[in-house]
Amino acid sequence: MNAATARARAHAALTDLRPQPDDIAADAIAGLTRSPRQLPSKYFYDAEGSRLFEAITRQPEYYLTRTELALLESTMPSIAQAVGPRLHVVEFGSGSGRKTELLLGGLEDTVAYTPIEISRTALMDSVTRLGQSFPDIEMLPVCADFTRTVPLPAAGQRPHRTLVFFPGSTLGNFDEADAVQLLTSMRGTMGDGGCALIGIDLDKDPAMIEAAYNDLAGVTAAFTLNLLARLNREIGSDFDLDGFHHHAVYSRERMRIETALVSDRAQTVTIGARSFAFAAGEALHVEISQKYTDASFAELAARAGLRVTHGWNDRTDAFGLRLLQPA
């Protein structure tokens, strides 16, 4: 299949449910009204945010992506045996699809692939490329916010089971209650006979963790600030990008990175008719990145009606993959 044919097939199958400006503005205003103030991390991923995140994954300090890629590559025969053949693979937050390529290449006779991604550009780019690499797999992309209920397109061929794929430790970006809700949603997506393959970042040396979110090249800082640039462009807010700076620190007590944009001075931000006054040094929380132990992850999964049936770690126990099935 050539590139033009792959693009045409992907666009024909696309289900477009991406958030609209009114939805984004409502979420931003709700977050800025809270104490402490926050913005949803899901809005990091416009076209520029997706590009910057891919650049983050290639920074020397950012161990997560290269470790998970190597782990997937080394464990795919074991994963394929555990999940079986003829799957409908559903990926939450598919991004560039680099990990997906390893997964689809290692599975047996996959029927269909449904990536759910909030960035339309990243979604279509990855599906076009994957469609060329795997012409026998039906591509059914959905542009949507996967944190909300998403109706899945039906595959043309009947699969034996559904595999939810959620790599990158993205689950760690959700607080405990939201993570349980998301895992519960995944349980509904996979059905009683399905399973989920989840990437988790494991608790380790705090210095190693903090360095990954504060790269010396400043790519993560640019990625974080791009959230404000996106809001200015799409909902007409007036955040001063020179008036905030990136701050990410590891909380030993909560086992998570906490990322904020800190106001450099007293200033006021407006969205439509609403105004929000920031004090100098006030933090606008934009993301958490939870780290796990085997016990803490198993407990989280159990609250969503799931159990860990298989687990794979890299050789340094820095990162893990866990296979979940309904309890």
Rounded to 10 deg, the angle between the 47-56 and 219-235 helix axes is 170
Maximum CA extent, the chain: 59
Say if 270 falls within a structural domain: no
Each of the 327 residues of the chain gets a pLDDT tens digit; together they read: 555 555 555 554 777 766 677 789 999 999 999 999 999 998 998 889 989 999 999 999 999 999 999 999 999 999 999 999 999 999 998 766 789 999 999 999 999 999 988 788 888 888 999 999 999 999 999 988 887 777 789 999 999 999 999 998 999 999 999 999 999 999 999 999 999 999 999 999 999 999 999 999 999 999 999 999 999 999 999 999 999 999 999 999 999 999 999 999 999 999 999 999 999 999 999 999 999 999 999 999 999 999 999 999 999 999 999 999 999
Given this model, what pLDDT does residue 2 score? 59
For residue 30, is it within any domain?
no
CATH number of the domain where residue 113 is located: 3.40.50.150
Closest residue by Cα to residue 309 from 184, 197, 203: 197
Could you tell me the pTM of the whole model? Answer: 0.89
Total domains in the fold of the chain: 1
One-letter identity of residue 183: L
d(CA 197, CA 204): 22
HEC sequence for the chain: CCHHHHHHHHHHHCEEECCCHHHHHHHHHHHHHCCCCECCHHHHCCHHHHHHHHHHCCCCCCHHHHHHHHHHHHHHHHHHHHHCCCEEEEEECCCCCHHHHHHHHHCCCCCEEEEEECCHHHHHHHHHHHHHHCCCCEECCEEECCCCCCCCCCCCCCCCEEEEEECCCHHHHCCHHHHHHHHHHHHHHHCCCCEEEEEEEECCCHHHHHHHCCCCCCHHHHHHHHHHHHHHHHHCCCCCHHHEEEEEEEECCCCEEEEEEEECCCEEEEECCEEEEECCCCEEEEEEEECECHHHHHHHHHHCCEEEEEEEECCCCCEEEEEEEEC
Label residue 311 left, alpha or beta by phi (over 0 means left) and psi (-120 to 50 means alpha): beta
Q: Would you tell me how many other CB atoms lie within 10 Å of the CB of residue 313?
A: 17
Tell me what pLDDT residue 4 has. 55
**Residue 140 belongs to domain spanning:** 3-18+58-204+291-326
Q: Look at residue 26 and tell me if it is in a domain.
A: no
User: How far apart are the C-alpha atoms of 254 and 250, rounded to whole Å?
Assistant: 8
Give CA–CA dist 128/131, Å, rounded. 5
pLDDT score at 121: 83
Report the alpha-carbon distance of residue 312 to residue 204 in Å, rounded: 16
Cα–Cα distance list, 65 to 57, 69, 97, 171, 255 (Å): 6, 6, 12, 14, 19
Q: Residue 233 falls within a domain, yes or no? A: no
194 within domain boundaries: yes
Supply angle C-alpha 27, 32, 33, rounded to 5.
100
Residue 180 falls inside a structural domain: yes
Asked if residue 133 is part of any domain, the answer here is: yes
Q: Given this model, what pLDDT does residue 1 score?
A: 59
Within a domain: 263: no
